[in-house]
Structure 1
């Protein structure tokens, strides 16, 4: 069976990328489509896989760039539970608002309400990550909102459900660079985690922006 065209393009891009320094831009989809005599969708599929694998990252409105693959260490161990045991944190923002663009991640309606909490996670007083934590409001009592520190101990959710994660290389969001004590041009890894109940319903959705000088990402399978 012939190799799919997008995989051929992916391999050619990978060969080119291996010789480029971190943060180097790659050509636009339009330019790549012309170069490879392929449709933009075919090129996009190749680039998307390289982004998902941590070889490339996208910076909105600027383009696609070579990622620092040293930020990702692949193995078969999960640290999420252990990590939350070891962390101290401070809440820097929380609100109850309509789900809107977060609705698909929580599998609720855009007009339903969610609780959004932003915290800085620290180990030995050093910033490990900034975390956006999203709860379905109807599943959280007023008393739990009044005791955020207990609610944000996610161990009970993790132990009773299942966790799926995706990892995205990117430039640190400007609003979190100061919290992480890194430069605004620093490449980082953002991890998306969805904690689901045993019946598969989302309970918590989390976006974790890691400080690359404090944390090597462990990708699980």
Structure 2
């Protein structure tokens, strides 16, 4: 509950209490929270104070309003640390979520120039182009396009790419994944992305490009992904030099 003697603003304490209730599953995704009148009685504060707390949480994406219906708990964003290198499947598994994919494209193609350069391939080299929708608990999270050298993984097939490529590379091919560089930028979903990710037209999305190499320094992967910004957020610990 709230402490009216605390130096912390009352609206902030209300926000923290509701967020804790969400974390404790008292309020679950899609649940309607009590009305402003009910919350003002519960916390024994003015409706204006409650409205400020609720509006702040709507702006944060913790809650959402539906006109004429009420205020509801939004799907909570998945936190992805920027430290450490994991596959999508490993990442979802660690959160107790079921990862799955829908394959949109799998073919062997001439490497685009930027991919050729990043994978350090010769001009005639071919790559596997793998385009997938990545799901967490059956809900679309990202559109992912992966390029890997065809000569490095000659046995790759559609069955393999339905699962975790990293598992295949490390367990089946006995290659050790070393490190990656990653670029993240905000952009707007086009018509196709909106449809595949099941978000409104012109929604904000996170465009992420990852260039990965094995422990011996050999580049093996370029991944270009479009993540739902309403379901994903990236966190990082930083230190003063």
Instruction: Say whether residues 1:83 and 2:95 are aligned partners.
Output: no
Q: How far is 1:176 from its partner?
A: 1.9
Aligned to 1:16: none
Q: 2:195 aligns with which of 178, 182, 201?
A: 178
Check the 8 A contact 1:133/1:207 in 2, yes or no: yes
Task: Determine the C-alpha separation between the residues in 2 that align with 1:99 and 1:76.
Answer: 28
Count residues in correspondence: 150
Q: Deviations over 1:35-61 (max 9, x none)?
A: xxxxxxxxxxxxxxxxxxxxxxxxxxx
Higher Rg? 2
Task: Determine the C-alpha separation between the residues in 2 that align with 1:127 and 1:153.
Answer: 18
Q: How far is 1:95 from its partner?
A: 1.3
Question: Residue 123 and residue 151 in structure 1: after superposition, are their counterparts in 2 closer, same or farther (change >3 A)?
Answer: closer
RMSD in angstroms over aligned alpha carbons? 2.9
Q: Give the match's secondary structure for 2:116.
A: helix
Aligned residue runs from structure 1 range 55-70, under 5 A: none
Question: Residue 110 and residue 170 in structure 1: after superposition, are their counterparts in 2 closer, same or farther (change >3 A)?
Answer: farther
Instruction: Say whether residues 1:104 and 2:117 are aligned partners.
Output: yes
Q: Could you tell me which runs of 5 or more consecutive residues in structure 2 were left unpaired when the two chains were aligned.
A: 1-76, 171-175
For CA contacts below 8 A with separation 6 or more, give which structure has more relative contact order.
1
Aligned residue runs from structure 1 range 145-160, under 5 A: 145-149=157-161, 152-155=164-167, 157=169, 160=177
Q: Give the helix-richer structure, 1 or 2.
A: 1
Task: Determine the C-alpha separation between the residues in 2 that align with 1:156 and 1:198.
Answer: 16
Task: Determine the C-alpha separation between the residues in 1 that align with 2:158 and 2:227.
Answer: 27
Aligned to 2:132: 119
Q: Deviations over 1:126-162 (max 9, x none)?
A: 1011100111010112x32253336743246586321
Aligned residue runs from structure 1 range 203-218, under 5 A: 203-218=220-235
Task: Determine the C-alpha separation between the residues in 1 that align with 2:85 and 2:231.
Answer: 14
Q: Could you tell me which runs of 5 or more consecutive residues in structure 1 were left unpaired when the two chains were aligned.
A: 1-70
Aligned to 1:93: 105
Question: Residue 174 and residue 152 in structure 1: after superposition, are their counterparts in 2 closer, same or farther (change >3 A)?
Answer: farther
Question: Residue 203 and residue 182 in structure 1: after superposition, are their counterparts in 2 closer, same or farther (change >3 A)?
Answer: same
Please report the TM-score for the alignment, with normalisation by the length of structure 1.
0.58
Task: Determine the C-alpha separation between the residues in 2 that align with 1:164 and 1:100.
Answer: 19
Please report the TM-score for the alignment, with normalisation by the length of structure 2.
0.54
Q: How far is 1:115 from its partner?
A: 0.4
